[in-house]
A and B are shown apart, each in its own frame.
Chain A
Amino acid sequence: MSFDLVEIRDLKVAFDGTQVLHGINLSVDRGEALGLVGESGCGKSVTWLAALGLLPGKAAISGSVRIEGNELCSAPRQALERVRGGRIAMIFQDPSSSLNPVIRIGRQITEALTLHRGIGGETARAEALRLLDMVGIPDARRRFDLFPHEFSGGQCQRLMIAMALAGQPDLLIADEPTTALDATIQAQILDLLNQLRAETGMATVFISHDLGAVSQVCERVCVMYAGRIVEQGSITQLFSRPRHPYTRGLFDAIPRLDGPRTRLVPIPGTVPNPKQLTAGCAFSPRCAHSVASCDFQRPELDVMEDGRRLACFNPVLADEPTPALQTVMEDA
């Protein structure tokens, strides 16, 4: 029997008794690029931090996370450490705070190589230089012994990616990797992530609040709201016909760069406090589509005819045009 690369089942996380993740089911296939989208606090980062055992001790985690059939969730520390960095690598939003400021970057990368692949000395140096070339650090040989502060933000993110690649991971989790970067640099990093996936065949999970960036890297997307997945499907399904009112709302809220200048369409209200969630759908207080049952009953994440998963009692109609998307589709 073959397993998905990573399979998350009914993952729940609570901090000090407040539940923030309400049973996430998610699988990542080999070589696949999956996007996780949602606003701050929706649990998109917590999902993966919990999966890798990176949350602080006070977090209560339940459920199952398997990598090729091997359980990670209650695994001992040594087993986890073989997976972290080796099988699954993670990069974060702020690269400069993930790098050690007082250690030369060459040493930081060779350290990862020694740890995960057991190579050292000149072999490790040569491999580190190859990685630096691969992620597009110009003049890597001369800059091997520089400190992180001598690199720009975009280059620090490239260094982080090089370090993540050191363990030859099967899965790279990129948590908002371009949010802190300038527009032109962001385009470069997205391009690099695509290129690396094509070259190495590793799967990518791209966590972002930016639907535009997600659509350029991923094949499949999960939209999260208040600790649950509310819609899941291929990029084309979700972007051409979003069915969940929240997904649709996210699209409509994005200002457009072309077409007539119109008033933006915000989603009214704010994200609910995780301490005060009701029994119903968490989005119903902000939802224009909500019906009476939404307030006291929670919709399950069900499979639709077109293969997508959706948790909504009264979804946006499939043929309801998305004004904000029509021109994009014509361009594409």
Chain B
Amino acid sequence: MVTPLIEAKGLTRVYEMRRGLFGKAIPVRAVDDLSIKVLPGETLGVVGESGSGKSTLGRMLLGIDPAQAGAVTFEGHPMPAFGTAEWRALRARMQLVYQDPLAALDRRLTIATQIREPLDIHNLLTKSQRDGRVQALMAAVGLRPDQADRYPHELSGGQRQRAVIARALASHPSLIVCDEPVSALDVSIQAQVVNMLRDLQDEFQIGMVFISHDLKVVRNVADRVAVMYLGRIVEEALSDVIFASPRHPYTQALVSSVPVPGQPLKGRMILQGEPPNPADRPSGCAFHPRCPLATDICRTSVPALRTIGVGRSAACHLVEGATAPIAA
């Protein structure tokens, strides 16, 4: 069996939130006993609404946010602690791409300098080879050579995101965590960047965790998709399968809520209510207050993530064909 590129078991992250200056600290379970794995060269899509913990999960996979419980292994080895020399060395192999490229770039440095930075920091290649590598990276992400000396504000949003991606690729990572990489871009530019990410991934066989709230983009990029609700995975399956036949009521509502051009709003499943506050988690299944199918058992007992078919799992009491819980 292939060793997973990255594997997380029982990950839990609890933030403390204070109401007011002297208020009591309330624990917020941003990520709750969550297990996932990504194989080499595979793309795992993570979807969910704001507050579902998908960005926290991305940061925990890279070891930026420490886990209170559970563990992450990278290529079979435990993730070193945040800030240690081993962790820093490992960061060359795993990179992060954020949503807002202008915030991720230093406004006072040229694009070429910034793409070169990971090579300087991790002391990769000889100094003379680095310039060549920067040129090759810029070409790979579709930036023109004359843009090397430009500053971030001189580029368009799409070009900035290309520069951020080039920088992330500089150290030959085997894993990239992309947190909403195309959400801030216009549709026509979004398609350019999505195509580019897919090409780069094919070319360099990079494993990718693609975090997004945009189901249409995720379907197009990811091989496998995990749907998160309030810090837990509620359904996981192959990308084509999960969008064609969602089984969890939440996934069904999400898929149904995607506006398709030319299709009327009527007949779509519109969820009532808002995603609940993670600090005030409902009892039983966290989705039950908004679920049209909820029964008594949903209000009292938390459904475990169970296998419901080949390579498919869902956490719902009502999904049929569920077998034994997946061991964490």
Spell out A's residues near B (CB within 8 Å): 39-40, 152-155, 182-188, 190-191, 194, 209-217, 235, 239-240, 249-251, 253-258, 261, 263-268, 270-271, 325, 328-329, 331-332
Is A188 touching B270 in the complex (CB atoms < 8 A)? yes
Least CB distance, A265 to chain B, in whole angstroms:
7
How many A-B contacts are there with CB distance less than 8 Å?
140
Chain B residues closer than 8 Å to A270, beta-carbon distance: 156, 158-159, 189
Specify the chain A residue showing the minimal Cβ separation from B190.
A253
Which residue among B188, B244, B260, B270 has the maximum number of chain A CB atoms within 10 Å of its CB? B188
What 0/1 pattern do residues 200 to 216 of B give for CB contact below 8 A with A?
00000000000001011
Is A253 touching B187 in the complex (CB atoms < 8 A)? yes
Least CB distance, A260 to chain B, in whole angstroms:
9
Alpha-carbon gap, A331 to B194, bound state (A): 27
Chain B residues closer than 8 Å to A185, beta-carbon distance: 49, 274
Chain B binding site: helix, strand, loop or mixed by DSSP?
A: helix
* New A-B pairs, 5, CB < 8 Å, besides A152-B274, A328-B262: A39-B188, A217-B265, A255-B216, A268-B192, A271-B186
Alpha-carbon gap, A185 to B159, bound state (A): 31
Q: Does B83 contact A (CB under 8 A)?
A: no
Q: Does B309 contact A (CB under 8 A)?
A: no
Is A209 touching B261 in the complex (CB atoms < 8 A)? no
9-residue interface stretch from B4-12, B99-107, B250-258? B250-258
Alpha-carbon gap, A40 to B188, bound state (A): 11
| From A152, A187, A271, contact of B268 by CB (8 A) | A187
Chain A residues closer than 8 Å to B216, beta-carbon distance: 254-257
Alpha-carbon gap, A64 to B90, bound state (A): 62
Report the 7 A-B pairs with minimum CB-CB distance, sorted nearest first. Answer: A212-B259, A266-B191, A267-B188, A182-B49, A264-B191, A187-B257, A239-B262
Least CB distance, A235 to chain B, in whole angstroms:
8
Is B219 touching A261 in the complex (CB atoms < 8 A)? yes
Alpha-carbon gap, A213 to B265, bound state (A): 9
Is B263 touching A328 in the complex (CB atoms < 8 A)? yes
Chain A residues closer than 8 Å to B257, beta-carbon distance: 183-184, 186-187
Is B195 touching A182 in the complex (CB atoms < 8 A)? no
Specify the chain B residue showing the minimal Cβ separation from A253.
B191
Is B261 touching A254 in the complex (CB atoms < 8 A)? yes
Specify the chain A residue showing the minimal Cβ separation from B47.
A183
Chain A residues closer than 8 Å to B274, beta-carbon distance: 152, 154-155, 185
Least CB distance, B274 to chain A, in whole angstroms:
5
Alpha-carbon gap, A22 to B271, bound state (A): 42
Least CB distance, B43 to chain A, in whole angstroms:
12
Is B263 touching A215 in the complex (CB atoms < 8 A)? yes
Least CB distance, B154 to chain A, in whole angstroms:
11
| From A40, A153, A257, contact of B260 by CB (8 A) | A257
Is A40 touching B186 in the complex (CB atoms < 8 A)? yes
Is A255 touching B253 in the complex (CB atoms < 8 A)? no
With contacts A184-B49, A186-B257, A188-B270 taken as known, whether A209 is within 8 angstroms of B187 at the C-beta atoms is yes
Alpha-carbon gap, A175 to B188, bound state (A): 20
Alpha-carbon gap, A98 to B220, bound state (A): 35
Chain B residues closer than 8 Å to A186, beta-carbon distance: 257, 259
Which residue among B157, B194, B262, B271 has the maximum number of chain A CB atoms within 10 Å of its CB? B262
